[in-house]
Structure formats: C-alpha cells, structure tokens
Amino acid sequence: MLSSEDVDDAFDDEAFMEERFSDVQRLLLGRGPALGPVTPVLLPATHCRLTVGPHASGPFGRCFAVRLDPGTDQSAPRVELLLADDGSLLGLVDAGALDGWRSAIPSGLAARYLAPPAPSLLGLFGSGEPAWSCLLVLHHALPSLSEVHVVGRDPAQARELASAAALRTGLRVRMSEDARATAAGADVVATTGGHPRVRAEWLAAGALLIDQTATAVPAAAGPAVRHVSLVPPPGPAAGTRHGPLPLAEIVAGRALPRGSGSDIVHYQGGELAGWSTIAAAAGLGHAWQRDVGTPVRLGRGSP
C-alpha cells in the first residue's frame, strides 16, 4: 500500500521520470502499446464510482487499474492495481498523490518542447498536492530553473509549500501574494488549482503558461498566444487557426511551438488515453524495487 508520501518517493527519481516522459511521448506519437478504453461504472446503492482502466504491462505481467471514488462518505479515493489474469490485488495507491504526478509528468514533457530558452523563474499557482508534484517534475524537466514564486489562496499553506520545496530542490522558493506580478515576471507559469485565475496577457513575451486545471483565462486582444493541448478536442477546429495545436504535432517535429520568439504559449493539460494505468503500474513497480510502502496481508490469516 502506497501513501501520498510513498508515491512521492517512488516518482521523485530522475531515471524513473525520464522513463515516464518516454511513455507519454510514445503514447502521443502512437508508438505505445495498443490500450483499450476506460470503463466508468456507477454503483447506485453505494454512490461509489469505479473507473476501470485498460490492460497494460506491470511488474508481474499484464494488469489493470481500478479507481474508486467513494462519493458521499469521507474515505479518500484510491487506485487499486489488479492482475489481469485472475484479478489478484497487487497494490493500493493514494489517488490524490497519484493524480498529481499523473498530471505533472505530461506537463514536464510539454515544458521541454514549449518553454523559452533557458527559463530561470517559475511562477507556481496552487499550493496543494498537484502543485508539489508539478514543481518537482518541472525542476527535473527544466534544469535551468533557479527560482520559484508560489501563489495560493491560503498564504500559510503557500508559505509552507515554499519552505518544503526549497529544502527538497535547493532552489530559491518564496511565497508571493501578487498574482499578476508573479505571472508577469516568470518565464514559465504553472496553474495547478486553488489559486486566482491567470490571464495569458499577464505573461511576458515568449513565456509558457502550463494550465493543468482549465482555469486560465484566454488572452484578450493584444499578445500573440499559441494554444497547445495535450489531447486535441474532437472536431474540425483542432489544430486550426481557431483551435489548439496538438502537442503531438510539435513532438513529432511537424509544427513549431511559436511563430516568433515573442509569442506566449498556452498549454492545456488533459487525459491521455492509457496513461493512468501505465503511471499506476510503473509507480507501484518502482516502489517495490525501492522497498517503499506498507505490505498488506489479505485472506483469513490477516489481522
């Protein structure tokens, strides 16, 4: 069983993150394994919602992930990893922490393709678990970063995150109460939840806005903004003058992130098919290799 701290320990590893960047890149380019659809299941009597992922390679062979959102009770959501052959339970993972890393890793890959040259200042909007994993991923993905300004609705929580991040990363990290000034001075801005809405026109020329929450406001008339999405929306507008450009087009070398160096890039995250199961299986497998987590006994002999 992996707690939120265990998930952080498993994912916050340079070699592991590079492997996961490669997984996302293969999925974007259609070179990954063929994965089936995600199946939502609603249990009306319990108000519990299950999401069953496709089969993927795991530490003990083919497996699949099941996410349990408890609904009205107070228990935290979790992800269970099951063996595809007989449904044996391989592990339990805290879903909140896993969600943060699952969103952050595609953003880290996107940042490598979309960030301006040698970015040094990150504006981080949000101070919860998604902000923590996003910061650690971007610290690895963009080694030129040297300073981080954290903006959150709760100043005490933002200050606590800044202090912990400075110890963990060695970067200069401080809390900021001025959202607009933070966005205007940053080379890269990441929005992760629990923060003021960010306007693209606040950003400096050439900056990158990583939007993991769909709370950023599209730019009004003024700055040139290039909209890029992890998963293109359906329909003829995708990739056109009025629609976002799929990240896969840039990763494949068929498009440039900017028309000129002064363009602002607004990247929108999303759900990449198959990635949730791959992330859960890889994270649990890496935790086993590193002896991270708490063994859980099942059956009649359990206490």
- Please give the mean pLDDT across all residues of the chain: 86
Percent of the chain topping pLDDT 70: 85
Q: In this predicted structure, what is the pLDDT of residue 26?
A: 93
- Angular region, 149: left φ>0, alpha ψ -120 to 50, beta rest: beta
- Between 299 and 57, residue with greater pLDDT: 57
Q: Is the pLDDT of residue 303 over 50?
A: no
Q: In this predicted structure, what is the pLDDT of residue 97?
A: 87
Q: Angle at CA 130, nearest 5°, toward 107 and 243?
A: 40
- Between 38 and 106, residue with greater pLDDT: 106
Query: 5-14, 129-138, 237-246: which range is least confident on average?
Result: 237-246
Torsion of CA 107, 111, 112, 118, to 10 degrees: -150
What is the rounded average pLDDT of the residues 243-247? 89
- Between 81 and 141, residue with greater pLDDT: 141
Q: In this predicted structure, what is the pLDDT of residue 171?
A: 97
Q: Using one digit for the tens of pLDDT, what is the confidence trace for 145-179?
A: 999 999 998 999 999 999 999 999 999 999 999 99
Is 81:53 a contact under the CB 8 Å cutoff?
A: no
The whole-angstrom separation of Cα 251 and Cα 228 is 11
Q: Using one digit for the tens of pLDDT, what is the confidence trace for 11-37?
A: 999 999 999 999 999 999 988 666 667
- Between 225 and 25, residue with greater pLDDT: 25
Percent of the chain topping pLDDT 90: 49
The whole-angstrom separation of Cα 87 and Cα 108 is 33
What is the rounded average pLDDT of the residues 80-89? 88
Is 103:128 a contact under the CB 8 Å cutoff?
A: no
What is the rounded average pLDDT of the residues 89-117? 93
Q: In this predicted structure, what is the pLDDT of residue 219?
A: 55
The whole-angstrom separation of Cα 39 and Cα 86 is 18
Of 45-49, 77-81, 252-256, 292-296, give the range with the top mean pLDDT.
Answer: 252-256
Q: In this predicted structure, what is the pLDDT of residue 96?
A: 86
Give, in order, the Cα–Cα distances in Å from 85 to each of 60, 90, 264, 292, 301: 10, 12, 48, 25, 24
- CB contact set of 188 (below 8 Å; sequence gap of 6+): 111, 115, 116, 119, 121, 122, 123, 138, 142, 145, 207, 208, 210
Q: In this predicted structure, what is the pLDDT of residue 199?
A: 83
Residues 18-38, buried b or exposed e (16+ Cβ, 10 A)? eebbebbbebbeeebeebeeb
- pLDDT band per the 50, 70, 90 thresholds, residue 45: low
Q: Where does residue 148 rank: exposed (0-12), middle (13-18), buried (19+ CB within 10 A)?
A: buried
Q: Reduce the DSSP state of residue 140 to 3 states and report it.
A: helix
The whole-angstrom separation of Cα 37 and Cα 244 is 24
The whole-angstrom separation of Cα 219 and Cα 242 is 13
Q: Is the pLDDT of residue 239 over 60?
A: no
Is 267:208 a contact under the CB 8 Å cutoff?
A: yes
| Entry pTM | 0.87
